[in-house]
Amino acid sequence: MAANRDKPDRWKTDIARSVDMYNDWFMNFAPKAFRTTRVETTKEVEKTLPATDNLTNVQPDILKQDPGILPTLRMSTCPPLAVDRLIGLAGVPPNLVKRMEKEHKMPVRMPQAQLDAELRKIGAIIEKMADPDIFVWLGRSKPPEKVEIHRAATIVADRLCGSVANPIIRNAQEKRQLEAIKSWLEWRGYRYLPPGDAAKFGTMPGGTFSFRMNVPVELEGGVKRVNIPIDALIMPKAKGKGKGDFPVFIEAKSAGDFTNVNKRRKEEAMKMAQLRKTYGEKVKFNLFLCGYFDSGYLGYEAAEGIDWVWEHRIDDLEQLGI
């Protein structure tokens, strides 16, 4: 029985709840300096959205009044646009975009008629490529709700600030996720095996679990053997030490924006393929998700036979046979 991959009717709700859970964790536990920057950036983005009719009407006057909003607008598209990519798509003079980006000013010598024409090109690209997974009100008649605007602003703020401390945030989030799994399992009578006591996953007794274990897999038709890291291995109580008994493999995944997960989604599919090629179809490889995982990511993983449990509904671990 699948936990979530065969239930696309509830993916949209889960995505929103997962984003909110990640945001709540981030706002409360991320490093103070980064959190402060992100909060302020979110406020700035929230101010930008009404000026553009919530990204449906990016007019030259708005850009002239506040050239500094251009980075926010670039991070509002799917995919987010680098400066040079925006210049190429819009077909506008490089000095216009770069002056807006670096100095938050307009070119001094450009005639107003030409300036308005160039800014309309920029606005048209932003409107056309606005990310519908972030700005969920695009294409519908119902106006955006306050919570939707705040969520969208937070996502764009993540994109603007994300490069500052992503590795630190990602490691802290993974540690917290594994602690959540540990607490859930121990409350149900499972016993933690330190890495030294769980040298081989095939010798794990039933009702035990371990973290960050290397699992050997075969490559190149069995000629080459390498170790791949697995975040959590859980041997169900009804199994263990029996021939052909495998633990449930779980990869803890968190993400602070929608873009990076789609770049990394092939990593999980590759691990699944390597595990099954080495150990057979009985291998269960699953994800433990918190954060920004959109329907495109979920559909890709489901098609690869990978299931997942959302952290905000951690009790779904039971549906993995645990």
- Cα-based distances in Å from 63 to 14, 117, 149, 310: 36, 12, 20, 40
> 86: burial class by Cβ within 10 Å (0-12, 13-18, 19+)?
buried
> In the CATH hierarchy, which fold is given to the domain comprising 166-320?
Trna Endonuclease; Chain: A, domain 1 (3.40.1350)
Instruction: Give pLDDT tens digits along the chain (322 positions).
Output: 688 999 999 999 999 999 999 998 888 877 765 777 778 888 888 888 888 988 889 999 999 999 989 989 999 999 999 889 999 999 999 999 999 988 899 998 899 999 999 999 999 999 999 999 999 999 888 989 999 999 999 999 888 876 445 666 777 888 899 999 999 999 999 999 987 655 577 778 889 999 988 888 887 666 678 888 899 999 998 775 555 678 899 999 998 888 777 777 888 888 888 888 888 888 888 999 999 999 999 999 999 889 999 999 999 999 998 8
pLDDT on residue 33: 58
Instruction: Determine what percent of the chain falls in helix, strand and coil, rounding each to the nearest 5.
Output: 55, 15, 30
Token pair, residue 48, equals: 């930008």
pLDDT on residue 221: 66
Of residues 319, 317, 289, 318, the one with CA closest to residue 301:
289
pLDDT on residue 163: 47
Residues 96 and 99: their CA atoms lie apart, in Å, by: 5
Residues 133 and 148: their CA atoms lie apart, in Å, by: 11
Q: Regarding beta strands 307-310 and 208-219, do their DSSP bridges make them parallel or antiparallel, or are they unpaired?
A: unpaired
| In the chain, where the domains are located | 32-164, 166-320
Q: How many CB atoms lie within 10 A of CB 203?
A: 13
